[in-house]
Amino acid sequence: MPAATLHACLLAARPKTLPAAIVPVWVGCVLAWKLSGQFDPWLAGGTLGGSLAIQIATNFFNDAIDSHKGADTAGRLGPTRVTASGLMSARLVLGWALAFLLLAFICGILLYQARGWPILAIGVPSLFLAYGYTGGPFPLAYRGLGEVFVILFFGFIAVAGSVFIQTGTWPAAAWLLGWQVGLLSAVLISINNLRDRAEDATTGKRTLAVRCGQQAAVAVIALELVLAAAAGGAWLALGQGALAAAGLPVVVLGWRILHGVRTLPPGPGFNRLLALGGVQLVLFAAVFHLAAGWRWP
């Protein structure tokens, strides 16, 4: 593969967004071990591979579809988009998206053999919405439903699904953890949409930030951070008080993120806040891992 094509593929894959695919599987496997003492590395690998493949496919679809709809303009404040900038053709970008969906499907076969029909209930909508997030007759990202999508699929379904794949059960703790991870992942979408609000308003992309305005968009970010941190108290009710420590990075970094979105004008400075949101998500997972007391086999 030519170096230029490889560079374009890396841009389209959006490596900085991949913690949203890695963290749910990571913490889900840790929680499964904490609750049951079980850990299957093959199933964990299949879950992680499928999650990453779906995330990357979503990013490739988003790149090509946003360019086709005119949502990525010359005034873009975020990272370069490969289709709109001419680094790759839309046809090639869509081809890569389908290739990653195929990889996710292959991972799903392994998981289906282990856990049966619930994998279909998780996998089929996930595969479709990799495209349906920005494409199809009801693109979620264009209807102000991006945050809802992320909380549902990169929070509840990804975390609880990872626990189910390891243990065959759906414990309440998995849904609590999914709520926290989903909210912290939604922070990334909310920052991104607030940064791009002015551009999106001119291209028909009716994100939550466009629909509700800047002040409401900042309030949404604050609510996501507060709810993610406050939910940690529920671990006490579940008899797992040590796991509440995972909220500490949210308290520390969340304040910095919130201060930034309140004081900085939407622009390139938001890219640093977006990176900080990714760090926050990873630190949440790392502290959760440490609090659970699990050492990798």
Q: How far apart are CA 236 and CA 249, in angstroms?
A: 18
pLDDT for the residue numbered 134: 84
CATH number of domain containing 197: 1.10.600
pLDDT for the residue numbered 295: 60
pLDDT for the residue numbered 122: 94
pLDDT for the residue numbered 164: 97
pLDDT for the residue numbered 137: 79
pLDDT for the residue numbered 87: 80
Structure tokens at 233: 């108290």
**87 inside domain:** yes
Q: How far apart are CA 95 and CA 60, in angstroms?
A: 9
Q: What is the pTM of this model?
A: 0.92
Structure tokens at 36: 């049951």
- 96 — alpha (psi -120 to 50), left (phi > 0) or beta? alpha
pLDDT for the residue numbered 82: 78
Count of structural domains, the chain: 1
Contact (CB, 8 A) for 57 and 130: yes
Q: In which domain, by residue range, is 88 found?
A: 3-292
User: For every one of its 297 residues, what pLDDT tens digit does the chain have, with 9 covering 90 and above?
Assistant: 566 667 777 878 888 889 999 999 999 999 999 999 989 999 999 999 999 999 999 999 988 887 777 655 555 556 677 787 778 888 988 999 999 999 999 999 999 999 999 999 999 999 999 989 888 778 888 888 999 999 999 999 999 999 999 999 999 999 999 999 999 999 999 998 999 888 888 877 889 999 998 999 999 999 999 999 999 999 999 999 999 999 999 999 999 999 999 999 888 888 899 999 999 999 999 999 999 986 654
The packing angle between helices 172-195 and 19-36, to 10°, is: 170
Instruction: DSSP for the chain, please give it.
Output: --HHHHHHHHHHH-GGGTHHHHHHHHHHHHHHHHHHS---HHHHHHHHHHHHHHHHHHHHHHHHHHHHHT-S-TT--SSPPHHHHTSS-HHHHHHHHHHHHHHHHHHHHHHHHHH-THHHHHHHHHHHHHHHTTSSSS-GGGTT-HHHHHHIIIIIIHHHHHHHHHHS---HHHHHHHHHHHHHHHHHHHHHHHHTHHHHHHHT---HHHHH-HHHHHHHHHHHHHHHHHGGGHHHHTT-GGGGGGGHHHHHHHHHHHHHHHHSPSSTHHHHHHHHHHHHHHHHHHHHHHHHT----
**21 inside domain:** yes
Report the 10 Å Cβ neighbour count for 41.
10
**297 inside domain:** no
**239 inside domain:** yes
Q: Is the dihedral of CA 189, 191, 193, 195 positive or negative?
A: negative
Contact (CB, 8 A) for 257 and 191: yes
**275 inside domain:** yes
Q: How far apart are CA 136 and CA 26, in angstroms?
A: 31
**20 inside domain:** yes
**221 inside domain:** yes
**91 inside domain:** yes
